[in-house]
Structure 1
Amino acid sequence: MPISEEMINRKGARKGTDIPHDVLNLLNQGEIESVNLTEWLAVNHMTLIQHVLPSIGLDHRLGEVSSEIAKQKAESGMKAIRLIGQLLDDVLREETEEKQAKVLQAFAHHVSDSVRCWAAYMNKQSLSTLKEKLAYIQPFAADHHFGVREIAWMSVRESLSLQLDQSIEHLTEWAKSEDENIRRFSVESIRPRGVWTKHIELLKQEPERALPILNLLKSDPSSYVQDSVGNWLNDASKTQPNWVTNLCDQWSKDSDTKATSRIVKKAKRTIVKGNL
């Protein structure tokens, strides 16, 4: 059944209990994307997997995947996405290379943002180098959906933090991209404190390591990128406030733009609050 324009262009409920029944059904069937965080968190991934796997010829894997989801009580949110991505990665290894490629392609381009989130957590164990992992995740980092973009950096953050210098070298090139989503990933993926993730202790103590990326983006025209740069520096200010203050002062002198001013204001918010 075709999805109406009204359904596609809906604003989305503010509370999970206010999500219309037909919207929730379509989300759980993988027929539509979520339009806000409330919907994204409301998706039942157990129900979704029961619709998606048979549709791509993996119905024979449904039992083992569903069993593990139930065992770990991971039917929604980040825990479900991470677990399902890893489970699917494991079961795909028992399929032919042709089937693996077909399934990954189907997941990576699925209409459901939740399914694309699973895909961002797949195909990791077989990738031996950081460069290959970043090449795999790049389309997800550039995805039009906010949820997929967040999962993209979360899925590789541990690998990036374990090879920090090499990561910064690669991400410096990403910071030069014409795509604001890719530029934003170059910063967000290695925030010293991050969101819903482990801290990167080395960057909390030595934030200057990320200067090759930060300097490229100090006057970025995108507010999406500006927010990420400002938040990165605000993270760093909690352990290295003098360094952040000095960098912001230097940027303000070198780059007298609204973009830089906005970044500096965000970067120094914890410092300013502490001085009140």
Structure 2
Amino acid sequence: MVVSEDILKRKGARKASDIPEEVFVLLNQGRIESVNLTEWLAVNHISLLENILPSMGLEDKLEFIVSEIVKRNTESGMKAIRLIGELLDKVMVEESTNKKEDFTMKCSNHVSDSVRCWAAFMNKNRNNSLEDKLSYIQPFAAEHHFGVREIAWMSIREDLSQDIEKSVKLLSEWAKSDNENIRRFSIEAIRPRGVWTKHIEILKQEPYKAQSILNLLKSDPSKYVQDSVGNWLNDASKTQPEWVLNLCEDWEKASNTKATERIIKKAKRTIIKG
């Protein structure tokens, strides 16, 4: 059955209860992408698994994965995505390398953004270097879909926080990308406080460790990137307000642009309120 243009071009409901039944069914079948956060959070990942895994030849893994999800009572949202990615990695250990790579590729390119989110939390080989992990996650960071981009940085944030000096060095190259999504990832992934994630304590106390990335983005033309830089500095201002104020003062002198002005306004919002 072909999905209608009206559904594909929908704006999305504001409340989960307002999501049309047909849209909800298609989301849980993995036949369409979510178009806003309301839809993204409403996806029932057990239903999605029941529709996706048999089509990929993993019907025998379904019972185990679903039972683990039910046991932990995480059928939707970010926790479900993280858990499913981990469980899929676990069950694929028993399979051949070719089958695992084929499965990962199918998930990474699936029409459902939720399935692509699962893939972002897969490939968690402890032996992989940070460079390898970043290489794997880069396509997800560059994604057109907002949900996949957010999951991309969440999936690797803990790895990045383990070695901030190395992470900043690697991500500084990402900050030079032509792709605004990649540039935004370079700083969003290591926000001192972040959203829905553990804080990175060393950056709360020593935010200057990420200054090389911040300087590269201080006058970025993309508002998407500007928001991330401003939010990063606002995070830092809650523990190191003087450092943030000094950096903003330096930027005001060095970069007389609307972009920098906008970033600084966001960066100082907590300081000004205080």
**Coarse TM-score class (shorter-chain normalised):** over 0.9
- Runs (5+) with no aligned partner, structure 2: none
1:210 counterpart = 2:226: no
Deviation per residue, 1:204-248 (Å, 9 max, x gap): 010000011000000000000000000000000000001100100
1:183 counterpart = 2:195: no
Q: Give the drift of 1:125.
A: 2.1
Amino acid at match of 1:169: K
Amino acid at match of 2:272: V
Q: Mapping of 1:156-195 within 5 angstroms?
A: 156-195=156-195
Structure 1 equivalent of residue 260 of structure 2: 260
Structure 2 equivalent of residue 89 of structure 1: 89
- Give 3-state SS (helix, strand or coil) of 1:116's partner: helix
Deviation per residue, 1:111-163 (Å, 9 max, x gap): 00000000000011254210000000000001100000000000000000001
Structure 1 equivalent of residue 43 of structure 2: 43
Percent identical residues: 68
Deviation per residue, 1:7-49 (Å, 9 max, x gap): 1110000000000000000000000000000000000000000
Structure 2 equivalent of residue 30 of structure 1: 30
Q: Mapping of 1:92-103 within 5 angstroms?
A: 92-103=92-103
Amino acid at match of 2:200: I
Q: Mapping of 1:87-166 within 5 angstroms?
A: 87-166=87-166
Inter-partner Cα distance in structure 2 for 1:83 and 1:242: 40
- Runs (5+) with no aligned partner, structure 1: none
Inter-partner Cα distance in structure 2 for 1:143 and 1:91: 26
Amino acid at match of 2:71: K
1:238 counterpart = 2:238: yes
TM-score of the superposition, structure 1-length normalised?
A: 0.98
Structure 1 equivalent of residue 77 of structure 2: 77
Inter-partner Cα distance in structure 1 for 2:126 and 2:162: 17
Amino acid at match of 1:229: V
- Give 3-state SS (helix, strand or coil) of 1:218's partner: coil
TM-score of the superposition, structure 2-length normalised?
A: 0.99
Amino acid at match of 1:147: G
Q: Check the 8 A contact 1:127/1:133 in 2, yes or no.
A: no
- Give 3-state SS (helix, strand or coil) of 1:239's partner: coil
What value does the CA root-mean-square deviation take over the aligned residues? 0.7
